Each structure stands twice: as structure tokens, then as C-alpha cells.
């Protein structure tokens, strides 16, 4: 349980950070209190206790009743027989002496129990030292006097239980008249009480192991129920984390097995459709890559000879000259488009490699601008000494694209600013390219990095621009290049209008020193 909780705990923290930690702890606490395991244990123990207590109570009551019944019957019968035997030689009315002898004889016959004999005002007790008055209640005496049957009553005297049996002595002949003689016998019930108490004691001693056993059984039952649930939970989490191959083992034929089977079927279906989608996507991408590749060979020939046409355009008739120049320019554009398509295909196929080396960024940006003849058209703020491990060629692609876009779509002045920024997540280099044009139309910011996305016509300043139109893939490729470095490109509106593109790269330096 702890192990599972630990794993779950970790996952949550990873996914949601600090906020998730408290939530995970709270959830764990709630699960401990309201968990299936605890509930099962509580229910099992409660059932065991109720069963044990009920059974004990019933058994105790029956046993006690039976024991008392037997004791009472025995006591009544014993007394009756003994009285019948002794009373045969007894003369009524008795005197004190004969009454005492009578009580003593009866007592002797029934195992030395205390016997009290009464005749009107005369009272004789077999044990002269015993206190009998408080044990023989007035109620019993009245009942004995009124009836002609043996009566008994259980009384508590000085914390001990006693059975008091009383009976009137009747004449044996004819109408069974009462003789006025009453006999009471006091039987000690302590032995019986101890016997039944022993039953309770043994139940009390037995109930602890029974409850423990119930708890253990509950844990075992919870284990057998919870293990598949836990497995299913783990599989679900793996699936949610993107491992579509995650499955859970199906054992048995119960409801949990059904659930596990359903989960597996769902995961199968998900994996199948995911694979299908991926395959389709891969096919589409491969198609683009193949098409670009196939276009390249004829383009190579066209590109090579297009310069011949352009070189000789001056000697051609005007129409043919225009045609030659158009062929030259469009061939170059087509070549650029195919190159960009192939580049983006390589990113899609993850076939790109970062060829990073420590580089002076100011120098790189300046060289990129100079190479394209943009040095005079761009205001730069490029502090010296900013060195980072980057792929120079890819940085050039990014700079060319961002600055090219600003020159093509924005209005001057275009500014390029290099900075280093220390943030909570490390040191970063930012390169900000800002123009002062109309800025991006609403809704374009989110889409500006989409492939072949062209913002509103107002951002295009016409075909007179020397760099011509981009392939429509430039910003997408720039962003991919930035991501390859572990960076990003953000776009925002400038404070005085215009668009601001900011390249953010982690400031990583290679190890300096000697090999």
C-alpha cells in the first residue's frame, strides 16, 4: 500500500507541482480513512463482534436458564421428598423442639442446606446461626401460605444468589388440607452462577482472537479485491501518461475481471486507432518528403541553367527577356520552397541534428545581416561577448527569417536587440526583432507559426521587395530551429505598434579549456 501511494504521490507532484502535493496528501489521507481496506476491516470486525456477542448472549441465556431450571427442579423435588418422609412422623401442632428437630432432619436429608420450618408463630432454623429472615421474603411466604404448591424465588443476599424454595405441608389423606406447617429451604446458587460466569469468561477470552482473525480475513479479502483494482489503477495511469501499450492481467471471472477485460479492450481500441492515425500522418509526411525529393533533381538542372537564361536575357527580344527573367526568379523561388519543404519534413521525421559549437552571437547576427545586404536597413543593439553553444547555421536561418519578415511586412525602423536574461529557470539569451509597421492583425499571433499561414495582405508590402515572397514555411522552420536549441520564439505587439518577435535560447556554454 505504501509503495503504491509513494508512486502515485510522485506522479502527482511531477504533473502538477507544489499545488498537487497538498492535494495528493489530502487525497491519500481521505483514502486511508474512507478506503476500501479500512471499511472492509471495520465491517468484518463488526460482523464478528455482533455474531459472537449474539451467539454468546443466546447461549448464555439458554445455559443459565437450563442450569437454574435443573437446580430449581432438583431443589423442589428434594425438598418435597424429604418433607414427605420427615413429616410422616410429625405431629401437628408442634412445639419449638419438635419443629427444630423437623427442620434439622429435613436439612440433613437435602444436603445440609438451610431449612426453615414455620408453624404459625413458631420458627425453627436448621442452622441457628444463619440469618434467614432477609432471604425469605414476605412475598414468598404469602404465596406459600396462600397456595398448596411448592414456590420458589431467587434472591440476592449480600451480593450472592440464593434459591429459596418454600412449600406448605399438607395432610396426605383426603382433601389435602394444609397443616399450617411451612418449610423453606435456602439453596446456595454460587456454584451455578460460577458455572455460567465461566461460560462468559471463556467467550470473553475467545472473542479477541476471533476479532483479530476477522480483521486478518478482512485484510486478506481486501487484498484479493484490491490487488486487481490497484493493478487496474496503475494500468490506467500509465495509459493516461501516454503508454498506450499498458494492459492489466485478467484473472478469474468476477466483476473485477470483467472490468479489467473492458479496460484492455478499450486500450486495444485506443492503441489501434492511435497507430492508424500515426501511420496516416507518417504516410502524409513521407509523401511530402518524397515529393520534395523527386522535385529536387529536375530543380537542380533548372537552377543550374537558369543563370544562363538570366545572363543572356539582355540579348533577347523584350518578351523573351521577361520570360527568361521570370523563369530564373521562379526557379529560385521553387527551389527555396522545395528546400523549406524538405527541411520541415526533416523536422517532422525528427531527422535533424543540432551541430552546436560555442559561438559569438553578436558576430553571428551581424554576419547573417551582412550576408543578405541588410546591415544598413536594420538598427542593431548587439552587445559583445555573448557566447553560447548554438548551431550557427540554424541561428542564421532564424535571424534571416525574423529580420526578413520584419523588412518585408513591417515598416522601418527594424531593430534587432540581443540581451542576456537571468530567470528563475536559468540564463537565457533573447534576440528581439521589432518593426514599426501595422503589427499583426488580431488572431494572427497564434497562427503566425502555422505552415503556409499568411497574415493579412496589409502586412505584405508588395512584390517590389527584393527578397521576394517567402515559402510560407519560414516562421515554422524558425520555430522548429529554436525548439531544437531548447528555446522558443514568442510574438507580441510592440509598444509603438508593429510586431515584436523574440527568440529565447538557453545560455549554454561548452566546456572551455584544453583537450
Partner 1 sequence: MPPTCISVPVRGGGTAVVAPIIERMPHVLLIEDDASVRDGMELVLRRHGYGVDTAATGEQALALLDGPGGGRVELAVLDLMLPGMDGFEVCRRIRARTTALPVIMLTARGDDHDIVTGLEAGADDYVVKPVTAPVLEARIRAALRRAEPSGQAPGASGQTPGAPADLAGLVIDRAGLTVTKHGVPVALPPTELRLLLELSASPCRVFSREQLLESVWDHSFLGDSRLVDAAVGRLRAKLEDVPAKPRYVQTVRGFGYRFGPL
Where along the sequence are the contacts to partner 1 (CB under 8 A)? 293, 296-308, 311-312, 314-315, 332, 335, 338-339, 342-343, 346, 351-353, 355, 357-358, 367-368, 370-371, 392-393, 396, 509-515
CB of 291 to partner 1, least distance (A): 14
Residues in Cβ contact with 250 at an 8 Å cutoff, skipping those fewer than 6 apart = 257, 260, 261, 264
CB of 362 to partner 1, least distance (A): 14
- Closest CB to partner 1 among 49 and 316? 316
- Closest CB to partner 1 among 128 and 315? 315
- Closest CB to partner 1 among 60 and 347? 347
- Closest CB to partner 1 among 81 and 312? 312
CB of 482 to partner 1, least distance (A): 18
The one-character DSSP state at 479 is H
CB of 433 to partner 1, least distance (A): 19
Instruction: Provide the CB-side half-sphere exposure for 428 (13 A, CA).
Output: 19
Q: Could you give the CA distance from residue 115 to residue 85 in angstroms, rounded to a whole number?
A: 15
Whole-number Cα distances in Å, 450 to 171, 203, 453, 480: 124, 80, 5, 11
- Closest CB to partner 1 among 272 and 370? 370
Cell output for 251:
484473472
- Closest CB to partner 1 among 190 and 393? 393
- Closest CB to partner 1 among 238 and 310? 310
Q: Could you give the CA distance from residue 83 to residue 107 in angstroms, rounded to a whole number?
A: 9
- Closest CB to partner 1 among 396 and 432? 396
Cell output for 181:
406447617
Q: What interhelical angle do 96-109 and 36-87 show, nearest 10?
A: 130
Dihedral of alpha carbons 189, 191, 194, 198, sign: negative
Closest CA to 434 of 379, 353, 508: 379
- Closest CB to partner 1 among 16 and 510? 510
- Closest CB to partner 1 among 91 and 511? 511
Instruction: Provide the CB-side half-sphere exposure for 293 (13 A, CA).
Output: 8
CB of 358 to partner 1, least distance (A): 5
Determine how many CB atoms are found less than 10 A away from the CB of residue 485.
22
Q: What interhelical angle do 190-240 and 2-16 show, nearest 10?
A: 40
Whole-number Cα distances in Å, 16 to 19, 29, 365, 486: 6, 19, 39, 22
The span from the first CA to the last CA of the chain, in angstroms, equals 52
CB of 356 to partner 1, least distance (A): 10
- Closest CB to partner 1 among 257 and 316? 316
The one-character DSSP state at 450 is S
CB of 367 to partner 1, least distance (A): 5
What are the DSSP calls for 254-308, one per residue? SHHHHHHHHHHHHHHHHHHHHHHHHHHHHHHHHHHHHHHHHHHHHHHHHHHHHHH
- Closest CB to partner 1 among 193 and 392? 392
Closest CA to 143 of 166, 175, 161: 166
Q: Could you give the CA distance from residue 368 to residue 399 in angstroms, rounded to a whole number?
A: 7
CB of 359 to partner 1, least distance (A): 9
CB of 419 to partner 1, least distance (A): 22
CB of 21 to partner 1, least distance (A): 41
CB of 10 to partner 1, least distance (A): 38
Residue with cell 559561438: 359
Q: Which residues of 143-152 are buried (b: 16+ CB within 10 A; e: fewer)?
A: ebeeeeebbb
Cell output for 272:
489501434
- Closest CB to partner 1 among 185 and 397? 397
CB of 288 to partner 1, least distance (A): 14
CB 153 within 8 A of CB 139: yes
CB 490 within 8 A of CB 431: no
CB of 309 to partner 1, least distance (A): 11
Amino acid at each position: 500500500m505504501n509503495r503504491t501511494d509513494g508512486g502515485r504521490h510522485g506522479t502527482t507532484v511531477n504533473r502538477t507541482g507544489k499545488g498537487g502535493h497538498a492535494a495528493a496528501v489530502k487525497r491519500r489521507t481521505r483514502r486511508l480513512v474512507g478506503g476500501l481496506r479500512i471499511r472492509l476491516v471495520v465491517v468484518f470486525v463488526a460482523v464478528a463482534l455482533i455474531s459472537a456477542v449474539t451467539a454468546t448472549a443466546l447461549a448464555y441465556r439458554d445455559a443459565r436458564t437450563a442450569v437454574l431450571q435443573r437446580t430449581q427442579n432438583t431443589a423442589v423435588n428434594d425438598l418435597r421428598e424429604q418433607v414427605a418422609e420427615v413429616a410422616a412422623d410429625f405431629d401437628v401442632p408442634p412445639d419449638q423442639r419438635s419443629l427444630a428437630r423437623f427442620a434439622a432432619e429435613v436439612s440433613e436429608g437435602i444436603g445440609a442446606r438451610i431449612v426453615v420450618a414455620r408453624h404459625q408463630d413458631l420458627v425453627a432454623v436448621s442452622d441457628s446461626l444463619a440469618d434467614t429472615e432477609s432471604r425469605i421474603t414476605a412475598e414468598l411466604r404469602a404465596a406459600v401460605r396462600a397456595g398448596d404448591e411448592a414456590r420458589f424465588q431467587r434472591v440476592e443476599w449480600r451480593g450472592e444468589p440464593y434459591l429459596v424454595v418454600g412449600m406448605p405441608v399438607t395432610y396426605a389423606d383426603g382433601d389435602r388440607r394444609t397443616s399450617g406447617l411451612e418449610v423453606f429451604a435456602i439453596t446456595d446458587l454460587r456454584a451455578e452462577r460460577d458455572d455460567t460466569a465461566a461460560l462468559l469468561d471463556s467467550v470473553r477470552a475467545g472473542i479477541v482472537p476471533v476479532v483479530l482473525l476477522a480483521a486478518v480475513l478482512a485484510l486478506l479479502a481486501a487484498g484479493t479485491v484490491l490487488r486487481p483494482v490497484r493493478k487496474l489503477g496503475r494500468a490506467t495511469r500509465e495509459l493516461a501518461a501516454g503508454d498506450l501499450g499498458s494492459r492489466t492481467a485478467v484473472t478469474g471471472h468476477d466483476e473485477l475481471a470483467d472490468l479489467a477485460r473492458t479496460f484492455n479492450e478499450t486500450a486495444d481500441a485506443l492503441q489501434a486507432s492511435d497507430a492508424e492515425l500515426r501511420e496516416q500522418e507518417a504516410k502524409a509526411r513521407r509523401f511530402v518528403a518524397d515529393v520534395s525529393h523527386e522535385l529536387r533533381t529536375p530543380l537542380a538542372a533548372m537552377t543550374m541553367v537558369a543563370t544562363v537564361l538570366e545572363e543572356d536575357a539582355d540579348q533577347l527580344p523584350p518578351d523573351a527577356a521577361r520570360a527568361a527573367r521570370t523563369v530564373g526568379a521562379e526557379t529560385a523561388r521553387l527551389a527555396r520552397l522545395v528546400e523549406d519543404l524538405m527541411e520541415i519534413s526533416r523536422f517532422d521525421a525528427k531527422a535533424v541534428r543540432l551541430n552546436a559549437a560555442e559561438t559569438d552571437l553578436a558576430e553571428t547576427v551581424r554576419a547573417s545581416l551582412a550576408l543578405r545586404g541588410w546591415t544598413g536597413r536594420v538598427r542593431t543593439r548587439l552587445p559583445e561577448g555573448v557566447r553560447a553553444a548554438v548551431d550557427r547555421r540554424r541561428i542564421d536561418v532564424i535571424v534571416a527569417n525574423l529580420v526578413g519578415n520584419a523588412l518585408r511586412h513591417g515598416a522601418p525602423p527594424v531593430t534587432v536587440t540581443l540581451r542576456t536574461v537571468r530567470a528563475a529557470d536559468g540564463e537565457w539569451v533573447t534576440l528581439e526583432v521589432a518593426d514599426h509597421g501595422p503589427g499583426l492583425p488580431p488572431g494572427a499571433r497564434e497562427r503566425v507559426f502555422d505552415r503556409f499561414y499568411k497574415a493579412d495582405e496589409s502586412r505584405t508590402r508588395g512584390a517590389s521587395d527584393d527578397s521576394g515572397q517567402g515559402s510560407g514555411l519560414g516562421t515554422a522552420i524558425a520555430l522548429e530551429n529554436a525548439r531544437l536549441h531548447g528555446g522558443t520564439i514568442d510574438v507580441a505587439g510592440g509598444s509603438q505598434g508593429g510586431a515584436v518577435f523574440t527568440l529565447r535560447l538557453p545560455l549554454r556554454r561548452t566546456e572551455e579549456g584544453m583537450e
